[in-house]
Structure 1
Amino acid sequence: MIKRNLLVMGLAVLLSACGFQLRGTGTNELALKELDVSARDAYGDTVTQLRQVLKSSGVNVHAGAPYKLFLARESNTQRAASYAGSARSVEYELTDTLNFEIRGQNNASLLADKLEVQKIYVHDSNNLAGSDQEASQVRDEMRREMIQKMVLRLQLITPAQLETLQMEAEARAKAEADALEAARRAQDETPQQSPLEIPAN
């Protein structure tokens, strides 16, 4: 028994020495080293915790960053999924949705997407305090999972990709501005029709 414990400990030390980490326990490497992070709910738990996670992952989160992650809308819904065991116990399906947008220079929208997390918990009307506490814990878990999903999504984005999206956004904006200017010039150059003169009898 002691030999087996020593063997397990030895393997754990060996694995940690060669840089092995369990999934979800290590730091998240992001190609984006600078990012401005804001939200519609500027002091909400999600944006506050996300900033902390990004900073601990080596991202310089500040207002002057070339790209901005904007958490546009966060919604929480709840619906009865089924009755569990007795009429007093109900399974609720909780759904959290987070719409986000990455903006570049001149506040150009470069990328927009949404994330979703779902969980089920049992509400027992015989134990309201316990059920409420469990629901709160589930919501906290869902928020942590949502933040983890957001970080994983950001890991897929590189500065080169955002630069390309920025150039495409600028080209679109220029094309739209040119089209508006051309329409305005065409309208200015079109002779205005004189009002009809009705001959006097």
Structure 2
Amino acid sequence: MIKRNLLVMGLAVMLSACGFQLRGTGTTELTIKELDVSARDAYGQTVTQLRQVLERSGVSLRSGAPYRLSLDNEQQTQRAVTYSSGSRSAEYELTTVLNYSINGLNNVPLLSDKLEVRKIYVRDGDNITGSDQEGTQTRDEMRRDLVQAMVVRLQMLTPAHLDELQQQADQRAKAEAEAAAAAQRYRDETPQQSPLEIPGT
């Protein structure tokens, strides 16, 4: 018993040293301390839960923050993957895909990516109500997993990394503006040819 307890304690110390935390325990530390969070569905459950998790993690959510996280599009799909005899029950695969982007100063796009979560649940044709409740519960679990995955992505970003992305975006914008100005100058300085006149016969 003592050896087993020591083994469990040793594993816990090793995992915590690696930065691992069990879901629902401890706090999630982010180096980003200010963030503007928006979503196409401004009052949707995903963005609401994400805001709550970020605020509990010490992130100040405010309009006008240096960086803005935008949940651009969340898509949910469902497909049957297996059927039982008589097709009374089936396994369904639920998928949620969340497209997001992070913008910097002057609303300049810094990065964009997507998150994807999949789960399978069994729909019993003899218990429609219970199956619907299980489907709803599975979707809720997927939403929590999606929010957790989004927080993990944010944990990987630091203010220094975002500043670097901002500088790169500013340089690209400057180069594009200079190229557009040079093209316009070329058009302005190039004589326009007069229409070709065809002598009458």
SS in 2 for 1:194: coil
Identity of aligned residues (%): 61
Query: Residues 98 and 199 of structure 1: is their aligned pair in 2 closer, same or farther, counting only changes over 3 Å?
Result: closer
- 2:176 counterpart residue number: 176
Instruction: Return closer, same or farther for 1:195/1:57 CA change in 2, 3 Å cut-off.
Output: same
Larger radius of gyration: 1
> Which residue does 2:188 correspond to in 1?
188
> What CA distance in whole angstroms lies between the structure 1 residues aligned with 2:81 and 2:196?
71
Q: Distance in 2 between matches of 1:118 and 1:33?
A: 30
Amino acid at match of 2:54: L
Instruction: For residue 71 of structure 2, give the secondary structure of its aligned residue in structure 1.
Output: strand
Q: Tell me if the contact between 1:74 and 1:96 (Cα under 8 Å) persists in the aligned partners.
A: yes
Deviates more, 1:78-87 or 1:55-64: 78-87
Q: Tell me the distance in 2 between the aligned counterparts of 1:75 and 1:198.
A: 60
Residue matched to 1:57:
57
Corresponding residue for residue 115 of structure 2: 115
Q: CA deviation at 1:196?
A: 3.8
CA distance in 2, matches of 1:145, 1:45: 13
Aligned residue type for 1:117:
V
Query: One-letter code of the match for 2:83?
Result: Y
Tell me whether 1:69 sits opposite 2:66 in the alignment. Answer: no
**Which residue of structure 2 aligns with residue 44 of structure 1?**
44
Distance 2:118 2:169 in 1: 34
Deviation at 1:195, TM superposition (A): 3.1
Q: In structure 2, what is the Cα distance between the partners aligned to 1:116 and 1:200?
A: 69
Task: Please give the TM-score of this superposition, normalised by the length of structure 2.
Answer: 0.87
The answer to whether residue 30 in structure 2 is matched with residue 26 in structure 1 is no
Secondary structure of the corresponding residue to residue 134 of structure 1: helix
Could you tell me which residue of structure 1 aligns to residue 136 of structure 2?
136
Gaps of 5+ in 1: none
What letter corresponds to residue 23 of structure 1 in structure 2? L
In 2, are the aligned partners of 1:36 and 1:67 still within 8 Å (CA)?
yes
Letter in 2 for 1:42: A
Give me the TM-score of the superposition, normalised by structure 1: 0.87
3-state SS in 1 of match to 2:87 = coil
Aligned residue identity for 1:72: D
2:102 & 2:124 partners in 1: Cα distance?
41
Structure 2 gaps, min length 5: none
Q: Deviations over 1:145-168 (max 9, x none)?
A: 000000011000000000000010
The total of aligned residue pairs comes to 189
Residue number in structure 2 paired with 1:148: 148
* CA–CA distance in structure 2, aligned partners of residues 78 and 48 of structure 1: 23
Within 1, Cα distance between the matches of 2:193 and 2:129?
77
Amino acid paired to 2:141: E
| C-alpha separation in 2, matches of 1:33 and 1:121 | 38
Whether the 8 Å contact between 1:84 and 1:122 is mirrored in structure 2 is: no
Alignment-derived partner of residue 35 in structure 1: 35
